[in-house]
Amino acid sequence: MSKAKAKNKIKTKGKATSKNVVLPGPMRMVWGALAAYWLRDIIHPAFTLIAVMILLMIPVLIANMFFPQPKPVVHDDAGDDVSVEDSEQEDAAEST
Q: Where are the domains of the chain?
A: 23-95
Per-residue confidence at 86, pLDDT binned at 50, 70, 90? low
- Window from 13-27, 31-45, 59-73, 79-93 with minimum mean pLDDT: 79-93
pLDDT digits (tens, 9 = 90+) for 2-35: 555 555 555 555 566 677 877 788 889 899 999 9
What single DSSP character describes residue 83? Answer: E
> By C-alpha distance, which of 49, 63, 58 is closest to 25?
58
Instruction: Give the CA count within 13 Å in the CB-facing half-sphere of 54.
Output: 19
pLDDT at 94: 57
Q: Are 16 and 54 in contact (CB under 8 A)?
A: no
